[in-house]
Amino acid sequence: MDIKTLEDAMHAFVERKGWYKPDSPHPQTPKNLAVSLVIEASEVLELYQWGEQADPEQLSGELADVLLYLLQLASLNQIDLGQAVMDKLRVNHDRSWE
């Protein structure tokens, strides 16, 4: 499955929920999405709070939440996430983390 398919499914879901409407109780602003992304990423971390393993089903759900917010944030900011990843990999190729 490609990023565009995931992005389209995410937008369809958000539209069905009415979250893109101006009077939505869950306004989908870049700031709100960035906050939600960090909260969901923290929930991934929470799964590892007391051990080295996480329940695969719970981890799967939390990682999906992270990806959904990441896709939406990138899309609303007109960022081609696939291209951004490739660009970042090129930059990181010549970096050193010593």
Q: How confident is the model at residue 97 (pLDDT cuts 50, 70, 90)?
A: confident
Four-point Cα dihedral 82, 26, 64, 49, nearest 10: 120
Domain-embedded: residue 98: no
Domain that holds residue 70: 3-93
Does residue 20 register a pLDDT over 90? yes
Region 42-62: mean pLDDT is: 97
Domain-embedded: residue 76: yes
Domain-embedded: residue 35: yes
- Identify the pLDDT of residue 98: 85
| CATH code of the domain containing 50 | 1.10.287.1080
What's the structural domain count of the chain? 1
pLDDT digits (tens, 9 = 90+) for 56-92: 999 999 999 999 999 999 999 999 999 999 999 999 9
Give kind and range of the element (H or E) at residue 21.
none
- pTM to 2 decimals? 0.92
Query: What is the b/e burial string over 45-74, where b = at least 16 CB atoms within 10 angstroms of the residue's CB?
Result: eebeeeeeebeeeeeeebbebbbbbbbbbb
Distance CA 43, CA 66 (A): 9
